[in-house]
Amino acid sequence: MTYMVSKEEEFCSTGIKELDIQMGGGIPLGSTVLVVGSSGSGKTTLCMQFLINGAKRGERGVFFTITEPLFKLTKNFEGFEFYDKKLIESGMVNLIDLRIISERLGLDAEKYTVEDAGALLDILKDIAEELNVKRLVIDSITALCYRLQTKEMIRDFIFKLGTSLAAMKCTTFLTSEVPPRTFRYSQYEIEEFIADGIIFLGDVDRRGDLIRTLQLIKMRGTAHSRTKFAMSISSKRGIELTPLLKS
C-alpha cells in the first residue's frame, strides 16, 4: 500500500501506534468513524483509549454512554494503565450518560419523533461546542438509532451530527453493535454509508481459541491498509495490534 504523507495537524492520532501507521498518521480531522463489533469485541476500550490518548495530547473529549451506567464504565477501566482518572476529574475527558440527558429533556419516549431527534442532536452539538471537544464518542449509535423510527431519520441524524462536528474539527467514534461472526457493519445497514470510516473488530477461531482482530474497512482521505490485524487488549498496554497470521 502507499502511505499518504502525514501532516500532524490534519490527522487525529488514535495513539495506537500500529493503527495510526495503517492510516498514514491517523484519522483525518473531523471524520465520523463507525467502530463495529459484537459484544466483548473491544469497541468501548478502543473508544476510551482514543479519548484518553487525545486528552494526553491536550485534546478535550467527551464520551456519551447509552449502553451502561457511568459507574460501571469507570469501574471497568480502572484496571487499565492508560486510564488516567485525573483526566476525567480535570474535565479533559467528560463522561456523560446520554439516557439521563434524554430524560431531563423529556426525551423518554420509546420512539423519537423528528422533533425529538432534532432536540437530541442540538443538545449533543451544544455540549460538544461548550466543552470545545476535539474527540467525541457515542457508545452506542445502535442503541440511539433504536429510537429513530425510519432509515431516513437515522441517515439524517448521523449526517447532521457528523457535519456539525466536522465543522468543529471534532473527530467522532460511533460504536455499532453487530451479532458475532457476521460480516455486516451495522444494525440498520445505513450507518456505514454516512460514516467516513469503518473500523471492524472481530475474531478468528484458531483451534477453538478466539483471536481478536481489527480491520480498517474504510477511511476516507487516507490510503489505508486493509490488512487484518490480531488485536490484544491488556491492562498494561490497552489495545495493541500486529498483523494476523494468514495460515
Partner 1 sequence: MANTIIEGLRERISTAAKINQSVGIIVPGNNYSELLEAIFDQMFSTNDIWTYVTVTKPFDSIIKTFPNLSDHRNIRFIDCISRAAGISKLYPECIYIESPTMLEKISMEIINIFHDANVEENINKYLVIDSLSALMIYNDPETVTEFFYHLINKTRTENIHSISLVVEEEETNKYLNKIIFLNDKILRVRDSFI
Is there a contact between 65 and 105 (Cβ–Cβ < 8 Å)?
no
Q: What's the closest the beta carbon of residue 236 comes to partner 1, in angstroms?
A: 9
Backbone angles phi, psi at 205, to 5 degrees: -90, 125
- With b for 16 or more beta-carbon neighbours within 10 A and e for fewer, the 224-244 pattern comes to bbeebbbbebeeeebbbbeeb
Of 145 and 201, nearer to partner 1 (C-beta) is 201
Of 169 and 237, nearer to partner 1 (C-beta) is 237
Binding site for partner 1 (CB under 8 A): 206-209, 211, 230, 232, 237, 240, 242-247
Is there a contact between 60 and 132 (Cβ–Cβ < 8 Å)?
yes
Distance CA 42, CA 159 (A): 25
Q: What's the closest the beta carbon of residue 230 comes to partner 1, in angstroms?
A: 3
Residue 131 in grid coordinates: 466543552
Q: What's the closest the beta carbon of residue 226 comes to partner 1, in angstroms?
A: 18
Q: What's the closest the beta carbon of residue 247 comes to partner 1, in angstroms?
A: 4
Task: Please name the residue that has the C-alpha cell 495460515.
Answer: 247
- The type of residue at 41 is S
Of 7 and 207, nearer to partner 1 (C-beta) is 207
Distance CA 157, CA 175 (A): 15
Of 76 and 232, nearer to partner 1 (C-beta) is 232
Q: What's the closest the beta carbon of residue 207 comes to partner 1, in angstroms?
A: 5
Q: What's the closest the beta carbon of residue 79 comes to partner 1, in angstroms?
A: 15
Of 123 and 211, nearer to partner 1 (C-beta) is 211
Distance CA 239, CA 133 (A): 23
Of 73 and 233, nearer to partner 1 (C-beta) is 233
Residue 194 β-bridge partners: none
